[in-house]
């Protein structure tokens, strides 16, 4: 079984190699890339110095984690830092941050943390790309938090996406997408009837809802967007397909 792996361009090759090492055939296609907002990054020093004691800081991606780790900003010692997933958490930990990472690497996982349950009248900074994470922002505001967003980069369409290897539609048995933006971009760049007729693996109920609204009928939800979780989910899809063939 061959998988089409839709990930941001910078992660395609590594993820494809990880799948291959696990004995799975996957071709990576980077439909989206990121572009740093240099003006926003230049303002980080001032913003960090103005953080109030006890501020909770949420880092939503590896890109955001890398950008805030590039310089020695004067972070308050009393702040609490959170990362959505293990990838961003490892980057931050490698740069000396004490960081909390939810077991479930998603917005839902973050919101389930006890440390984010009671945030009424507390300052919460969400460090992210432009757009996205609306569910996270809305839930924090509903809980009474004073939410501030620092958008440090933007997602851009890759007009001529390069695949990790040559492929044809008829070779693909399942599509894996790690964000709602990638799902939407696939429906912009690829034949919609083909996309609707093939099974998908997505990374949350929110992304499953996006795929469903676009007409996808067969969807499996991975635990999170990490390569390990996606590989485990892909293996389950293969086993299910084998079972149906045998029975």
In tens, the pLDDT along 79-134 reads 999 999 888 999 999 999 999 999 887 888 899 999 999 999 999 999 999 987 88
Mean pLDDT for 128-144 is: 92
CA distances from 14 to 5, 10, 112, 230 (A): 11, 8, 30, 13
- Averaged pLDDT of the chain: 92
The pLDDT score that the predictor gives to residue 244 is: 73
Q: What pTM, to 2 d.p., does this model score? A: 0.83
Q: What is the predicted pLDDT for the residue at 72?
A: 87
Supply the pLDDT for residue 223: 84
What would the pLDDT profile of 41-72 be if each residue is shown by its tens digit?
999 999 999 999 999 999 999 999 999 998 88
Q: What are the two backbone dihedrals, phi and then psi, of residue 125, each rounded to the nearest 5 degrees?
A: -105, 130
Q: What is the pLDDT of residue 247?
A: 60
């Amino acid at each position: 079984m061959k998988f089409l792996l839709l990930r941001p361009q910078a992660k395609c090759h590594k993820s494809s190699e990880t799948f291959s090492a696990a004995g799975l055939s996957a071709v990576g296609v980077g439909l989206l890339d990121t572009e740093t907002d240099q003006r926003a990054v230049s303002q980080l020093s001032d913003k960090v110095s103005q953080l109030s004691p006890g501020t909770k800081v949420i880092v939503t991606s590896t890109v955001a984690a890398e950008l805030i780790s590039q310089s020695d900003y004067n972070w308050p010692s009393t702040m609490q830092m959170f990362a959505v997933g293990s990838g961003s958490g490892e980057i931050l930990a490698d740069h000396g941050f004490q960081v909390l990472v939810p077991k479930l690497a998603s917005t839902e996982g973050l919101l389930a943390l006890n440390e984010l349950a009671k945030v009424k009248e507390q300052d919460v900074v969400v460090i992210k790309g432009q757009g996205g994470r609306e569910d996270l922002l809305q839930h924090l505001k509903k809980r009474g938090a004073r939410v501030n967003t620092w958008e440090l980069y933007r997602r851009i369409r890759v007009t001529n996406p390069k695949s990790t290897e040559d492929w044809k539609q008829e070779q693909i048995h399942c599509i894996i997408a790690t964000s709602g933006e990638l799902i939407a971009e696939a429906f912009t760049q690829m034949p919609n009837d083909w996309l609707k007729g093939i099974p998908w693996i997505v990374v949350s109920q929110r992304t499953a809802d996006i795929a469903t609204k676009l007409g996808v009928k067969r969807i499996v939800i991975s635990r999170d967007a990490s390569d390990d979780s996606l590989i485990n989910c892909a293996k389950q899809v293969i086993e299910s397909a084998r079972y149906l063939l045998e029975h």
